[in-house]
């Protein structure tokens, strides 16, 4: 009995010492697998240089492609995966499946693919797996944006989305409708959701400025927007109920990106000129025009000057300067407008936490004097990886906008454009009717 016990103890100790004796690789471990390949651009077909290539399950350092786009990498095994990354290009993952030579074709960051994840309501789904009708628009590089507002950037970008500019007021934006007008009395504006938060479409209920409608999308900096998804039917927009009857516009701001800390700065400017002036009569010609109308109505010169003494061309008349002047009101109310826009974005992080901080300033001086729109915006987005299955996101946005507006509707008393074209000096004249005997 004692002999059997010692014999079992020796066997246990021998099995425990096997890894220490150098026989570890014999216990089912895979050997390193050498993979070579080449990386091309999917748009041009040319080889790409300095593309980072790494193996998912290998501890080896990532490698970069050479001048001919070739790479050579040690993978953990025949079933490992390779990840191809480069700033401005879409990240791509390819499984080896026992192949020792691979070719990778990379798309630009703004190119669309059926394999791209689409940000829907609280989830991301590959585009090929979506059964409902939708359209996707991705924001271009900041230097390629031409419109002064976010609504102008949507013009012609999405099918079934109608964009109609409201007026020339700064910051007013445009009227949006999806698949035409659904009602004569109710609103046809699609439901707007920014990072999962529903925005009020109509803005302020009442406005002190005649004809002005506040545009809530003016509070968004177009350079903070990553992509826009327009849900056109109830298949995908059913989560929002009856609010989605006109469609749903899902707006995703710039997501946090890990890696080295990067800083993007964009500064742009522009100007707008006043429209050509409408030719109008000066004071002397307009007085002659009114006199001819009075003569045609049967009034004599004495009757005209006695009732309306300011019509006489008498330089000694006390109020001559009030009625006989040639002020060009179109030059007084119009100017050359200036447009300024500045944006700063800082992003970075590691595998556990990623962040994106952005700030912007926008100033739009309209061609009508004393009208402008200034906006300062700040946004902070972050993602914290709690575990392999749980991550916590935090989005914070702040906007401070200020309007200086004038009437632009059909109100001659307060609309400077319309008042500048109407001769107010003689608007109170009552011409007698001509009698025919």
pTM, entire model = 0.65
Question: What topology does CATH give the domain 117-253?
Answer: Ferric Hydroxamate Uptake Protein; Chain A, domain 1 (2.170.130)
Q: Where are the beta strands (DSSP E) in 31-100?
A: 33-41, 52-55, 63-64, 70-75, 81-85, 92-95
Least confident of 269-278, 311-320, 360-369: 311-320
What is the band of 4 on the pLDDT scale with cuts at 50, 70, 90? very low
The per-residue pLDDT for 211 is: 65
Q: What would the DSSP string read from start to end of 173-225?
A: -EEEEESS---SSS--PPEEEETTEEEPSS--S--SSTT----GGGGS-GGGE
Give the residue among 150, 134, 195, 146 at the shortest CA–CA distance from 383.
195
Percent of the chain with pLDDT over 90: 10
- Per-residue pLDDT for 100 more than 50? yes
Question: What residue ranges do the domains of the chain occupy?
Answer: 34-109, 117-253, 283-327+411-426
How many Å apart are CA 222 and CA 227, to the nearest integer?
10
What is the band of 297 on the pLDDT scale with cuts at 50, 70, 90? confident
Least confident of 35-39, 348-352, 423-427: 423-427
Highest mean pLDDT among 127-136, 208-217, 265-274, 407-416: 265-274
The per-residue pLDDT for 417 is: 78
The per-residue pLDDT for 201 is: 65
- Tens-place pLDDT, residues 15-51: 454 444 444 443 334 567 889 999 999 888 899 998 9
Biggest CA–CA distance in the chain, Å, is 151
Percent of the chain with pLDDT over 70: 75
How many Å apart are CA 147 and CA 284, to the nearest integer?
44
- Tens-place pLDDT, residues 238-260: 677 777 778 888 888 888 877 77
What is the band of 164 on the pLDDT scale with cuts at 50, 70, 90? confident
What is the band of 437 on the pLDDT scale with cuts at 50, 70, 90? very low
Question: What topology does CATH give the domain 34-109?
Answer: Immunoglobulin-like (2.60.40)
């Amino acid at each position: 009995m004692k002999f059997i016990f010692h014999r079992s103890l020796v066997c246990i100790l021998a099995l425990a010492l096997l890894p220490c004796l150098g026989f570890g690789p014999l216990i089912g471990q895979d050997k390193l697998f050498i993979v070579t390949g080449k990386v091309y651009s999917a748009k041009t077909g040319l080889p790409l240089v300095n593309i980072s290539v790494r193996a998912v399950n290998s501890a080896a350092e990532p490698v970069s492609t050479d001048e001919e786009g070739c790479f050579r990498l040690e993978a953990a095994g025949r079933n490992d995966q390779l990840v191809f990354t480069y700033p401005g290009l879409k990240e791509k993952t390819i499984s080896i499946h026992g192949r020792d030579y691979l070719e990778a074709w990379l798309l630009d960051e703004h190119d669309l693919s059926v394999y791209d994840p689409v940000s829907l309501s609280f989830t991301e789904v590959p585009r090929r797996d979506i059964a409902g009708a939708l359209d996707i628009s991705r924001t271009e590089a900041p230097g390629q944006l031409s419109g002064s507002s976010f609504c102008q950037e949507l013009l012609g970008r999405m099918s079934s989305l109608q964009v109609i500019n409201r007026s020339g007021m700064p910051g007013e934006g445009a009227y949006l409708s999806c698949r035409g007008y659904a009602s004569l009395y109710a609103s046809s504006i699609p439901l707007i959701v920014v990072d999962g938060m529903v925005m009020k479409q109509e803005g302020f209920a009442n406005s002190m400025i005649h004809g002005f409608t506040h545009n809530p999308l003016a509070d968004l900096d177009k350079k903070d927007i990553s992509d826009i998804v327009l849900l056109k039917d109830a298949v995908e927009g059913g989560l929002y109920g009856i609010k989605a009857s006109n469609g749903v516009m899902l707006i995703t701001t710039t997501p946090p990106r890990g890696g080295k800390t990067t800083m993007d700065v964009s500064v742009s400017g522009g100007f707008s000129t006043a429209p050509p002036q409408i030719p109008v009569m000066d004071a002397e010609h307009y007085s002659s025009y009114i006199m001819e109308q009075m003569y045609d109505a049967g009034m004599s010169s004495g009757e005209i000057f006695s009732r309306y003494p300011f019509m006489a061309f008498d330089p000694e008349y006390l109020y001559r300067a009030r009625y006989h002047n040639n002020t060009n009101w179109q030059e007084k109310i119009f100017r050359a407008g200036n447009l300024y826009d500045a944006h700063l974005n800082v992003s970075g992080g590691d595998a556990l936490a990623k962040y994106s901080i952005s700030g912007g300033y926008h100033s739009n001086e309209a061609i009508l004097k004393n009208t402008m729109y200034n906006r300062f915006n700040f946004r902070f987005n972050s993602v914290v990886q709690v575990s392999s299955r749980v991550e916590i996101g935090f989005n914070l946005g702040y906007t401070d906008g200020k309007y200086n507006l004038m009437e632009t509707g059909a109100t001659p008393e307060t609309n400077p454009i319309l008042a500048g074209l109407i001769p107010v000096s003689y608007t109170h004249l009552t011409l007698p009717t001509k009698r025919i005997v």
